């Protein structure tokens, strides 16, 4: 317990990630420092063109990709290539659901600005319907730091205040990784969010510990693998345009035969010593030699441009491989006892000749 200003505080466990003990700001703490103001430069003259594989969620004309949370037609108005929140009609969300994504959104605060604090051009973009990247008018306007434009609402304040004046187009580029849970529902990897606001990094692979919320943290839902992109109606006529998304594929895992360190076959010292020496690589006469030495039951390869020798694991009497690289060195010995080698890495090969 610590006493501060007459109040007593007990150290609290973090609500989300096990093992995380770093002190964490309370949600919406008005004492949390505001980020530095950064001028992002002029707004783009036109919507930024999407890449070829993007799914267009809003092209400036149609709300077909959107609906209300209870499945009714989206009630926001579309004009001049933008959609505008009609206060009171409620949030809208994509009909489609997404997990890991890259998301591009352009938005503009109402102009002239009205209201103060959270009551000023407030809206928000919810990834998987759960994680809000805040949309609000933060241009020369103050509110609590984790509720500013670029905030992961209630959790991470933005690293910079890179907003433009109300009425000007602002650009979010968001990379989102969904949280991962094991079969028992335990969180094994938190969600990840990287956000650029008007080209300025405002969230650097931060890890929300659960869905964002107003007041008190919300619990994770381990059953959710995908969810809609939701735009918040916070009773302010914020505008949006040019919304597109790219689904990010899972990284592949290697099959067992392509992973792990190969098991060495036992070779005699005589066989191993037969390959020791300095080798020219053939391609360039000026290139320094590759040197092979013996270290117990395997060989070492010393390259002129690497300070530490590499282990060569024997997988047959004449073939040696690197432990963590798709590379192998195959030796050949001719009738006169001359030793050559062929070093293959990935899709490249280079011949070696012992000097």
Neighbouring C-beta atoms of residue 206, cutoff 10 Å: 17
Q: Can you tell me whether residue 273 is helix, strand or coil?
A: helix
d(CA 355, CA 338): 9
Closest to Mg ion by CB, 212 vs 281, is: 212
Residues 25-84 that bind Mg ion (CB under 5 A): none
Residue from 348, 347, 340, 346 nearest 290 by CA: 340
Half-sphere exposure of 16 (CA within 13 A, CB side): 24
Residues 195-254 that bind Mg ion (CB under 5 A): 232
**Alpha-carbon 74 to chain mean position:** 30
Closest to Mg ion by CB, 233 vs 328, is: 233
Beta partners for residue 108, in sequence order: 239
Q: Are 134 and 203 in contact (CB under 8 A)?
A: no
Q: Which stretch binds Mg ion (CB under 5 A): 44-52, 65-73, 103-111, 118-126?
A: 118-126
- In the complex, minimum distance from the CB of residue 96 to Mg ion, in angstroms, rounded to a whole number: 22
- In the complex, minimum distance from the CB of residue 107 to Mg ion, in angstroms, rounded to a whole number: 11
Torsion of CA 51, 40, 243, 249, to 10 degrees: 50
Closest to Mg ion by CB, 110 vs 124, is: 124
Closest to Mg ion by CB, 124 vs 179, is: 124
- In the complex, minimum distance from the CB of residue 123 to Mg ion, in angstroms, rounded to a whole number: 6
Q: Which stretch binds Mg ion (CB under 5 A): 119-127, 190-198, 242-250, 263-271?
A: 119-127
Torsion of CA 133, 98, 237, 120, to 10 degrees: -10
Torsion of CA 180, 186, 188, 192, to 10 degrees: 50
- In the complex, minimum distance from the CB of residue 114 to Mg ion, in angstroms, rounded to a whole number: 16
Q: Which stretch binds Mg ion (CB under 5 A): 88-96, 116-124, 174-182, 203-211?
A: 116-124
- In the complex, minimum distance from the CB of residue 232 to Mg ion, in angstroms, rounded to a whole number: 5
Kindly write out the interface string for residues 301-340 of this chain, putting x where it contacts Mg ion by CB under 5 A and - elsewhere.
Answer: ----------------------------------------
Closest to Mg ion by CB, 153 vs 343, is: 153
- In the complex, minimum distance from the CB of residue 233 to Mg ion, in angstroms, rounded to a whole number: 10
Q: For residue 147, give the DSSP letter.
A: G
Q: Which helix (DSSP H) or strand (DSSP E) does residue 2 occupy?
A: strand 2-4
Closest to Mg ion by CB, 157 vs 281, is: 157
Is residue 124 at the binding interface for Mg ion, with CB under 5 A as the rule?
Answer: yes
- In the complex, minimum distance from the CB of residue 131 to Mg ion, in angstroms, rounded to a whole number: 12
- In the complex, minimum distance from the CB of residue 310 to Mg ion, in angstroms, rounded to a whole number: 53
Is residue 150 at the binding interface for Mg ion, with CB under 5 A as the rule?
Answer: no
Closest to Mg ion by CB, 66 vs 290, is: 66
Q: Which helix (DSSP H) or strand (DSSP E) does residue 270 occupy?
A: helix 269-273
Token couple for 245? 């998304």
d(CA 310, CA 313): 10
- In the complex, minimum distance from the CB of residue 146 to Mg ion, in angstroms, rounded to a whole number: 11
Closest to Mg ion by CB, 101 vs 135, is: 135
Q: Which stretch binds Mg ion (CB under 5 A): 51-59, 114-122, 186-194, 290-298?
A: 114-122
Rounded to whole angstroms, what are the CA distances from 141 to 138, 175, 211, 352? Answer: 5, 26, 26, 67
Q: Which residues contact 239 (CB under 8 A, 6 or more apart)?
A: 82, 83, 84, 85, 107, 108, 110
Closest to Mg ion by CB, 214 vs 333, is: 214
Q: By the criterion CB under 5 A, which residues form the site for Mg ion? A: 122, 124, 232
């Amino acid at each position: 317990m610590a006493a501060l200003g007459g109040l007593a505080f007990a150290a609290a466990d973090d609500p989300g990630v096990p093992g995380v003990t770093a002190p964490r700001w309370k949600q919406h703490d008005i004492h949390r420092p505001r980020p530095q103001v950064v001028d992002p430069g002029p707004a783009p003259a036109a919507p930024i063109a999407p890449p070829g594989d993007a799914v267009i969620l809003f092209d400036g004309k149609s709300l077909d990709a959107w609906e209300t949370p209870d499945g009714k037609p989206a009630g926001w108005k579309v004009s001049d290539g933008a959609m505008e929140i009609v206060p009171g009609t409620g949030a809208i969300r994509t009909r489609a659901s997404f997990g890991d994504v890259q998301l591009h959104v352009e938005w503009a605060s109402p102009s002239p600005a009205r209201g103060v604090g959270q009551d000023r051009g407030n809206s928000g973009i919810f990834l998987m319907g759960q994680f809000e990247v805040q949309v609000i008018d933060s241009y020369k306007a103050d509110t609590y730091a984790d509720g500013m434009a670029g905030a992961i609402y209630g959790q991470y304040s933005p690293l910079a205040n890179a907003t433009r004046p109300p009425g000007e187009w602002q650009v979010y580029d968001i990379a989102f990784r969904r949280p991962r849970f094991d079969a028992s529902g335990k969180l094994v990897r938190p969600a990840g969010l990287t956000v650029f606001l008007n080209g300025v990094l405002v969230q650097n692979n931060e890890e929300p510990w659960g869905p964002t919320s107003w007041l008190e943290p919300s619990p994770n839902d381990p059953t959710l693998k995908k969810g809609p992109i939701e735009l918040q109606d916070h009773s302010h006529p914020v505008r949006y345009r040019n919304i597109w998304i790219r689904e990010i594929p899972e990284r592949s895992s290697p099959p067992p035969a392509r992973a792990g360190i190969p098991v060495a076959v036992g070779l005699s010292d005589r066989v191993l010593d037969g390959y020791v020496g300095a080798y020219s690589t053939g391609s360039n006469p000026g290139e320094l030699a590759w040197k092979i030495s013996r270290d117990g039951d395997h060989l070492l390869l010393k390259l002129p441009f690497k300070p530490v020798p590499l282990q060569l694991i024997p997988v047959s009497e004449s073939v040696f491989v690197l432990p963590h690289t798709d590379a192998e060195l195959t030796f050949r010995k001719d009738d006169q006892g001359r030793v050559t080698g062929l070093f293959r890495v990935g899709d490249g090969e280079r011949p070696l000749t012992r000097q």
